[in-house]
Chains A and B, each alone.
Chain A
Amino acid sequence: DAGVIQSPRHEVTEMGQEVTLRCKPISGHNSLFWYRQTMMRGLELLIYFNNNVPIDDSGMPEDRFSAKMPNASFSTLKIQPSEPRDSAVYFCASSLRISLRSGNTIYFGEGSWLTVV
């Protein structure tokens, strides 16, 4: 049973370069989330989609960050241009929202470890 699949697992890039992180959510899930994890700030929600539509992007740090979900099985998070302070682990996660009343178990991928030098 495949979980959330992220790629690349590790990326080292130079400052100013474009970075694209990819995510395949669990089949049938209708919500997708992008989180960033750092020692300083912990787990931060960057953006989430419901039924492929961005619902809340208030966590996106700045215009250098963008996210898309062209279909139910694929999403990207793009950083352009990248900066050293973007170095972090980026997690994609998905969930199935059955109803407003149901609990929301979120399934995380293994993360994309980004280093910007």
Chain B
Amino acid sequence: QQQVKQSPQSLIVQKGGISIINCAYENTAFDYFPWYQQFPGKGPALLIAIRPDVSEKKEGRFTISFNKSAKQFSLHIMDSQPGDSATYFCAPWGQETSGSRLTFGEGTQLTVNP
């Protein structure tokens, strides 16, 4: 579980601002880097994911940046909205880890103030 370190633990952003959440990992066998989003009372759901053959992936207001040499990847939320308030988890995965086990980060609680 300690193979993945997520920061910050909590983040407060004003509406329209940029939210940035970071994830550092140790296992070089990881080759799939997703972010999950969880709203209160719901299960986590895949938000966006990246493979290590690209350094950045953008889907709408959400961008993943990947730095293979630093073993880090981050989630950027542009023009943050109150509806983005949720807990975000990084969950890197690799085919050499035991089967399909996902290693979840500790989570970042994002609050976007109106």
On A, residues with C-beta under 8 Å from B are: 4, 31, 33, 42-45, 48, 50, 55-56, 91, 93, 95, 97, 100-101, 103-111
Least CB distance from A44 to B in Å reads: 7
Contact sample, A vs B, 18 pairs, CB 8 Å cutoff: A33-B100, A42-B104, A42-B107, A43-B104, A44-B1, A48-B100, A50-B100, A55-B98, A55-B99, A56-B98, A56-B99, A95-B100, A103-B32, A103-B49, A104-B93, A104-B102, A105-B34, A108-B43
Residues of A within 8 A of B107 (CB): 42-43
Residues of A within 8 A of B41 (CB): 110-111
Q: Is the interface of A mostly helix, strand, loop or mixed?
A: strand
A3 to B74, CA, bound (A): 28
Q: Is the interface of B mostly helix, strand, loop or mixed?
A: loop
Least CB distance from A85 to B in Å reads: 18
Residues of B within 8 A of A101 (CB): 95
Contact B101 A108 (CB under 8 A): no
A108 to B102, CA, bound (A): 13
Contact size range, B? 20 to 34
Point out which of B43, B51, B95 has the most chain A C-beta atoms below 10 A from its C-beta.
Answer: B43
B46 lies within 8 A of chain A by Cβ:
yes
Contact A105 B46 (CB under 8 A): yes
A109 to B42, CA, bound (A): 8
> In chain B between 69 and 114, which residues have their CB closer than 8 angstroms to a CB of chain A?
89, 91, 93, 95, 98-102, 104-107
Residues of B within 8 A of A97 (CB): 100
Contact A110 B104 (CB under 8 A): no
Least CB distance from B65 to A in Å reads: 18
Least CB distance from B73 to A in Å reads: 14
Contact A106 B102 (CB under 8 A): yes
Identify the closest chain A residue to B96 (Cβ): A100
Identify the closest chain A residue to B42 (Cβ): A110
> What per-residue 1/0 map shows which CB atoms of B40-70 lie under 8 Å from chain A?
0111111001010000000000000000000
